[in-house]
Each structure stands twice: as C-alpha cells, then as structure tokens.
Structure 1
C-alpha cells in the first residue's frame, strides 16, 4: 500500500480539463483533492499563469515508480511536450512524496527523486497541499518540518503568487462527499 501526494499543474489548452483528467484517471484511489489555484509561473520563463492543485491518492498495489509511470502516462495523454525547462505545459504531474507502511519513501534515483527536491521552495505545491493535509510534513535538505513552516519561510512574493480560485475538481468516487475539499 502506498499513498502519494501529487502536484498537478497546467497552463496550456483547457487547463481545468487537464487537471480533471488526473482526478478522473485516479478514480477510487483519490483520498483528497485540493481547491484549484491560479499561480504565477515558476522558473523565470515568460508564460501564462498555471492552474495548480494537489491530489492525495492511495493504491495497495502501487509503489513510487507506479505513481511516476501513471503521471507520465497522464502527461502524454494530455499531449505534453517537453521543449523548454520550466516552460509552458499542458499537464505536469509531480510525485511530491510517497508513503508506505514503513514511512516516507526516499529515492536518489535521478528519474524519481523523493521527496521532491524543490517542493519546499514552491508555494504552488505547499498551499494546495495544506488544503488537504494541514498537518503534513516534508523532508528537504535533511530537515523534516511541517509544510506550513516551509511555506512561512518562503519569500512573500512567492506566497503572493498563489491565488485560490472558485474552480474545483470533481471526484466521482463513491465517498467523494467526505473529502476536505468539499468543505467551505
């Protein structure tokens, strides 16, 4: 059994539909979905703002590489093309953390660095993550801290670039009404 925190984003095409495709594909694996945020692009490349969200998903048959493969398949289905580093994209699916019964999975494999090596620097990951796991913690640079502390330590301009929208992603799973995102 593993639980993954997935950061999803889109700034090309039907951005909301691209994000919704992730939730739809995950189906009953979805445990929580954040609100949708509009966020300034990260990395210095001029481009349209992103829509971002975080999805927490579980699967008893998945390991960390299964989450990576699923993310890549979803990006391919959205016709993602990797042309420019930190450039525009139809869909980006990042595995932020993966947890098993043994705890947080750590990986130094260049194909899948876990926990995500820059998640603690990105308000567009931390803000939606706090929507669904307010008590979450994250290990970065050898330090484990609450996600809220990582967020508080970011530059104000980084935090101010993340704006909650009225957009929501719909979880069609049978127990969807019990997720934190359904509360005002």
Structure 2
C-alpha cells in the first residue's frame, strides 16, 4: 500500500451475461478493495462496442480514493475481472467485465503493464460521458463534441431491474 490516499478514476464495462448486474457488483467490489473508498459512481450507460465486437456494453465510471499503488490497483482490478469470468481470447473480445485505471492522481506512467493516464480515455464516449457526470471539471465540451458520433445512452435507474 502507498502511504497517502490518492484519488483515482476507474472505468467499468461489461457486454456478456447480465452486464448491468456485473457492473453494479463491480462497483461494490471496487469500493471494497483494501485501503479503498468509493467517492462517487456514475450512472450506468449503454454503448455500442467501440473498436470491439459483440453486444452493447454497460459502462460506468468510479472515482475512488485508494492507498493502493498504481500497479497494485491494476492487479486488484484484474483479479476482480478474473472473478467475474473475464477471458482474453483476442484483443477487444466481448467481456464479462473490463476495469481500466483512467487516472491515478496526477501520475504519468508508461510501463509494459500500465500507462497513466489511460492513453485512449479522451477518444471514448463510454468514458467521457460518465466521467463528465461525476467529475465535470475533467471533461470539456470539446472533448464531448469529439465523440458525439459514438452511440451511448444514459440508463435511467427506474429502467433497471
């Protein structure tokens, strides 16, 4: 564990099985990681696969405060993916759960395992829309306009089972 807590942003997505239930459970699981507290979770969003195939994704973004270091956080998230049955048969394959570290404080990192901030976060409506909901200062109108052609829909809580 690192010594002082850091605010981090995690993107969540799923498009296999009961994706809504999986993302909701993953939010609880992320909040339960050692030395970690959920600060804010976005609503759920439905998005068409982007540079991927398969059914629509259910997406969300979580802002957390964590004492886990960046790689420890990544490994903890990968363990949650495995618990949910995540397989990686090929790049961008449909998935039961996908958890990505988008930001880890102000850390810039480029390693074989992890790049921070996430190198493609600004290209993806399924990250930008929920991020704008929970951390509006981090997302500009120009960034949102640049991804407006990507299909994404806010899911109303009353429409959830």
TM-score by length of 2: 0.87
Cα contact 2:52–2:94 (8 A) shared by 1: no
Counterpart in the other structure of 1:51: 58
Q: 1:22 to 1:148 in 2, by over 3 A?
A: farther
Q: What is the alpha-carbon distance in structure 1 between the residues aligned to residue 43 and residue 18 of structure 2?
A: 17
Counterpart in the other structure of 2:153: 163
Cα contact 1:10–1:90 (8 A) shared by 2: yes
Counterpart in the other structure of 2:144: 151
Which of 35, 43, 46 is the aligned partner of 1:38?
46
Q: What is the alpha-carbon distance in structure 2 between the residues aligned to residue 164 and residue 65 of structure 1?
A: 31
Cα contact 1:5–1:57 (8 A) shared by 2: yes
Counterpart in the other structure of 2:89: 83
SS in 2 for 1:29: strand
SS in 2 for 1:73: helix
TM-score by length of 1: 0.77
Counterpart in the other structure of 1:29: 37
SS in 1 for 2:13: strand
Aligned length: 150
Stretches of structure 1 that go unaligned for 5 or more consecutive residues are 137-145, 169-184
Q: What is the alpha-carbon distance in structure 1 between the residues aligned to residue 9 and residue 140 of structure 2?
A: 12
Cα contact 2:40–2:62 (8 A) shared by 1: yes
Aligned counterparts, 1:32-181, within 5 A:
32-45=40-53, 47-59=54-66, 61-99=67-105, 104-136=106-138, 146-154=139-147, 156-158=148-150, 161-167=151-157
Stretches of structure 2 that go unaligned for 5 or more consecutive residues are none
Q: What is the alpha-carbon distance in structure 2 between the residues aligned to residue 126 and residue 147 of structure 1?
A: 9
SS in 2 for 1:83: coil
Q: Deviation per CA, 1:55-75, whole angstroms, max 9, x where unpaired?
A: 00112x211112201110110
Q: 1:86 to 1:58 in 2, by over 3 A?
A: same
